[in-house]
Structure 1
Amino acid sequence: MTQSLDLRARSEALGGALPALLAQAEHLAATVVLGEHGRRRAGMGDEFWQYRLATAGDPAGQVDWRRSAKSEGQFVREREWQAAQTVSLWVDASRSMQFSGDAARPPKADRAQLLALALAVLLLRGGERVGLTGDGARPRGGRGQIMHLLAGMTGGDGADYGAPDVANLSGHSRAVFFSDFLGDPEEVETALAIASDRGVRGALVQVLDPVEESFPFDGRTIFESMGGSLRHETLRAGDLRARYLDRLADRKGRIEGLARASGWHYLCHHSGQPAQSALLWLYAALERGR
């Protein structure tokens, strides 16, 4: 009975947080004024894109004679490419993402979910199909997909550290993985290898709390993983700072190297930084990775 009440309380708390998260994501997306993602190139479609000077080999039927009559050259009227992209998102739901080094600062998971949802809002507005990896929301277009994504990315999986889920990734699509990537890096390497074999390109966004970057601890300190499976007590935490920072730099370098070797992009984002800059970077990274 107690377990049922606890589950109900957690469910109600989560349900109450969903509208706030969606409102934040909508607001964040609204601060980014961009054109339609993935469509700005010539191709088959109905919408006019641009005029360009005719070149050898252009069929006479493509020349816009009315526009050409206004100048000395001949101009071709190009239409805009309108094939929608498929973008799959993975948001780490492990316990390590619940860490925050300051009671006034939301946990890493909140920032990862906010960025993922705001990116989805932008992509869906641009006519793209967006979904979640694994058994989450399958890629679809349209405004209604937002609620499916919102519900799918806000649960926890109980593991101490997460590993990218590459199940159901569509071939030659795009993907974005949000995590602190503090678990086994070999799992990230395996996931990227599978994605690359399917022709998937995308971005890794490593979300860290500022405390994880600065290691401000000194004196007697007990370090414990969010799930409680790892625990270390020391009387001189300050003596660990240099070694910790070196290992963190190595980890970030390895994740970035894995991304680069796979043709992916990498960003390290701190939960204390403004979210808008990361969202702009993500949007541009997907455009570059086309």
Structure 2
Amino acid sequence: MSDPLSLRAGAETEAAAFPDLLARAEHLAGAVLLGAHGRRRAGAGDDFWQYRPAQVGDSRRAIDYRRSARGDTEFVREREWQIAQSVMLWVDQGASMRFSSSDKFPQKIDRARLLGLAVAILLNRGGERVGLTGTELPPRAGRPQIMSLAQMFCRDDTADYAPPEHRAMIPHARALFISDFMGDLDGVRTALTKAADRGVRGVLCHVLDPAEEAFPFTGRTVFQSMGGTLSHETLKASDLKERYMERLAERKAELESLCNLTGWRYGLHHTNTTAQAGLLWLYGALDAKAVAA
């Protein structure tokens, strides 16, 4: 049984982070205009969207004769697409995500949570169902779901590297995975393969600290995992730079190749860039047409 004092301390820490994350995510989402990337499209719905010139294959009943009477071109009246879709999120809570090379930059996990929750808020405002991969928080619409997501995102995983949750993938839904992808990629391959088998398309957001891209270490250095389970000491860190950069490039290429094979999109985000830029790209990339491209 868990120590009651430890359990209470953990609960209070989690509760303290919740309102701050929610407020920052709502502020970030508020800076992004819905529809800025052309999310609206023609489809099943009740609301008028636009007129377009009639094309071969259009039904005669689809032609708007009142609009067409204004000239020599026949026009079709299109309705706006209003089918709510399910979007499943996985935000890596592993210990490796709690790294930051400088006080000037947020921890990777802070940026990942902020982007994940802000995306959820925007999707929810657009009438779509949002939830987590797995069975703990299935996609739903509404403000209470956003509150639940914020609470879930405030939990930390004790493992150094947390593999993606791939259970209960909803067929033909969309998904967003946000991680540094520093751990074993077998879990990522499994998740994306199972997703592709169910017709799920999505986005991999690769979050890295600038030091992980530049490897600015020299001299005697002790490299230790954030969870403390791995440690390596070297007297000349600069000698490791070339091999490290090669392996990082290989990892990026492998992730991108995996996305190409499964119909997903790959994006790289650095914590020294603005969260707004990352959110704009993610929200656009999650568009159904963009993911399917």
Tell me if structure 2 keeps the 8 A contact 1:224–1:232: yes
Give the whole-Å Cα distance in 2 for the aligned partners of 1:138 and 1:125.
Answer: 17
Question: Match for residue 218 of structure 1?
Answer: 218
Q: Give the aligned residue type for 1:25.
A: A
Partner of 1:34: 34
TM-score (norm 1): 0.93
Aligned 8 A contact 2:97 2:180 in 1: yes
CA distance in 1, matches of 2:88, 2:205: 14
Check whether the contact 2:17–2:154 (CA below 8 A) recurs between aligned residues: no
What displacement does 1:68 show? 2.3
Greater Cα offset, 86-95 or 130-139: 130-139
Q: Which moved more, 1:69-78 or 1:191-200?
A: 69-78
Q: Does 1:289 align with 2:291?
A: yes
For 1:5-51, what per-residue CA distance to the aligned partner results, in whole angstroms no more than 9, with x for missing partners? 23322321221111111111111111111329896332221100111
1:157 partner amino acid = D
Q: Which residue of 1 aligns with 2:16?
A: 16
- Cα displacement (A) at 1:55: 3.8
Name the SS for the 2:81 alignment partner: coil
Q: Alignment identity in percent?
A: 57
Distance 1:199 1:141 in 2: 22
After superposition, the CA RMSD in angstroms is 2.0
Q: Any conservation in 2 of the 1:38–1:85 contact (CA below 8 Å)?
A: no
User: 1:143, CA displacement in angstroms?
Assistant: 2.4
- Residue 241 of structure 2 is matched in structure 1 by 241
8 A Cα contact 1:37 1:126, kept in partner? no
- Whether contact under 8 Å (1:87, 1:129) holds in the other structure is yes
2:175 match: secondary structure: strand
Quote the offset at 1:200 in angstroms. 0.7
- State the distance in 1 between where 2:80 and 2:37 align: 12
Once the two structures are superposed, residues 192-214 of structure 1 have per-residue CA deviations (whole angstroms, 9 ceiling, x without a partner) of 11111111110111111111111
Asked if 2 retains the 8 angstrom alpha-carbon contact of 1:202 and 1:265, the reply is: yes
Amino acid at match of 1:31: A
What pairs up with 1:109-188 in 2 under 5 angstroms?
109-188=109-188
- Whether contact under 8 Å (1:97, 1:109) holds in the other structure is yes
| Distance in 1, Cα, partners of 2:28 & 2:277 | 10
Describe the SS at the equivalent of 2:286. helix
- Whole-angstrom distance in 2 between the partners of 1:143 and 1:36: 22
Q: CA deviation at 1:65?
A: 2.8
Corresponding residue for residue 46 of structure 2 = 46
Amino acid aligned to 1:202:
G
Aligned residue number for residue 79 of structure 1: 79
Aligned equivalents of 1:38, 1:81: Cα separation in 2: 12
User: Is the contact between residue 42 and residue 80 of structure 2 (CA under 8 Å) also seen in structure 1?
Assistant: yes
Displacement of 1:64 in angstroms is 2.3
Question: Cα gap change, 1:79/1:284 in structure 2, threshold over 3 Å: closer, same or farther?
Answer: same
Amino acid at match of 1:47: D
1:124-160 superposed Cα distances (whole Å, 9 cap, x missing partner): 1111111001133210112221101111222122111
**Structure 1: how far apart are the matches of 2:143 and 2:273?**
28
**Matched letter for residue 176 of structure 1:** L
CA contact (8 A) 1:42 1:78 kept: yes
